[in-house]
Amino acid sequence: MNSNDHAWMARALQLARKGLYTTHPNPRVGCVIVKDDVLIGEGWHLRAGEPHAEVHALRQAGEAARGATAYVTLEPCSHHGRTPPCAEALVKAGVGRVVAAMQDPNPQVAGRGLARLRSVGIEVSSGVLENEARALNAGFIKRMETGLPHVRAKLAMSLDGRTAMASGESQWITGSAARAEVQRLRAQASVVLTGADTVLMDHARLTVRAAELGLDDELTQLALQRPPVRVLVDGRLRVPLDAPFFQAGPALVASLGNEPAARYQAGGHELLALPTPEGRVDLPGLLRELAGRGVNEVLLEAGPRLAGAFAAQGLIDEYLLFVAAKFLGSSARPLLDLPLERMREARELRIVDIRAVGDDWKITAVPQG
Ligand code: AOF
Ligand code: ZN
């Protein structure tokens, strides 16, 4: 290992992050090419169908790539997908060394890219800043490894653990900085998922709105390029088609039957029948269906019943809990409806991050075990 490997990989990760809002279903990938400790090329993947990070970086480096080191946040691909294999491009350019942050979990690649590089005598190492690289593409990795998307549940409560007033009023518990953060979370997700209760009670639209993102112009443009698909779980089709949610654009509705499909289609929406034998909407089935459509990341913004159902079935990978520094006093609406009785049934979490967002706090926690 070279003493500057971490620093160059950190630069490659920084580039990869520019794809935060646009690459899905593809992963976010960055690449830098370095010779004699000088940067000679850099690139990142913008969107599916367009050149991979390595191709941009090699183009910039030109002839100087011969004998240079390429730092890539994901193993260079070995397959012919929408674009030709990056491993071949690196071989052809004559790079002397390739450092990857992690192996590509895509079964079409899965080590074959690194093996191809090694086979022609290129020095190869993998695992530099691997945790950071994995965190950036948690959704892509989860989908490739399990056929399910990464589900991130966004919840908000007051310091006394309340989510609404006795009157039912619940907007806005958190401040504008937290709301901007939620806008960015929506923009980076492939899907924003909600339930009929939330849409009916809060008149929620679940859209991404330029003015509320709190990003500079360049990132705002990127964030608006691929808005997330809005998915509504509405078993009995309680949300009327003239609700703000449907008026805000096309949506996917998961229900128990697809009887009035034509009415939804006329409005540009898709109705998906996903009943379980018990007469519930099949949530794992819905997630599998979404992953099948290339969805890496789902942001779940739902009320206690739907969020509780996802949690009870072990479908949530990450909780983002916004805590507002105020007391609401009421005992209305829990955060999650979980049918637990005894302490030994309690769901254990591990808190992985706590940070201030404006006047609120954001707690990131993952299920234990
Ligand atoms: C890389 N560099 O920048 C990216 C990679 O359909 P394609 O051709 O875009 O291929 C998509 C697959 O390529 C994707 O599933 C993942 O395995 C890999 N992504 N690989 O070498 C990149 N974005
Ligand atoms: Zn590639």
More confident residue, 164 or 290: 290
54 a catalytic residue:
yes
Q: Is the pLDDT of residue 332 over 80?
A: no
With a 6 A CB cut-off, is 86 part of the ligand 1 pocket?
Answer: yes
d(CA 247, CA 224): 18
Cα-only R_g, the chain: 23
Q: Is the pLDDT of residue 111 over 70?
A: yes
Residue 363 has a pLDDT of: 98
With a 6 A CB cut-off, is 141 part of the ligand 1 pocket?
Answer: no
Residue 168, C-beta contacts closer than 8 angstroms, at least 6 positions apart: 201, 332
Percent above pLDDT 70 for the chain = 100
Residue 248 has a pLDDT of: 96
What's the pTM?
A: 0.94
Q: Is the pLDDT of residue 336 over 80?
A: yes
Average pLDDT over residues 173-189: 96
Residue 28 has a pLDDT of: 98
Q: Which residues of 234-254 are buried (b: 16+ CB within 10 A; e: fewer)?
A: bbebebeeebebbeeeebbbb
Per-residue pLDDT tens over the stretch 306-320: 999 999 999 999 999
SS3 at position 158: strand
Q: How far is the CA of 119 from the centre of ligand 2 (A)?
A: 18
Residues whose beta carbons lie less than 5 angstroms from ion ligand 2: 52, 77, 86
Average pLDDT over residues 85-89: 95
| Region at 339 (left for phi over 0; alpha for psi -120 to 50; beta for the rest) | beta
Average pLDDT over residues 28-35: 98
Residue 1 has a pLDDT of: 66
Nearest ligand to the C-alpha atom of residue 105: 1
Question: ipTM more than 0.90?
Answer: yes
With a 6 A CB cut-off, is 296 part of the ligand 1 pocket?
Answer: no
Average pLDDT over residues 225-244: 96
Q: Which residues are annotated as a binding site for substrate?
A: 170, 186, 206, 209, 301
Query: Which is the closest atom of ligand 1 to the Cα of 75?
Result: 21
Average pLDDT over residues 128-148: 98
Contact (CB, 8 A) for 21 and 33: no
Per-residue pLDDT tens over the stretch 251-309: 999 999 878 889 999 999 999 999 999 999 999 999 999 999 999 999 999 999 999 99
d(CA 335, CA 161): 8
Q: How far is the CA of 193 from the centre of ligand 1 (A)?
A: 26
Residue 178, C-beta contacts closer than 8 angstroms, at least 6 positions apart: 156, 322, 324, 357, 358, 360, 362
Residue 344, C-beta contacts closer than 8 angstroms, at least 6 positions apart: none
Q: How far is the CA of 66 from the centre of ligand 1 (A)?
A: 23
Closest residue CA from atom 4 of ligand 1: 52
CA distances from 109 to 25, 197, 309 (A): 16, 42, 35
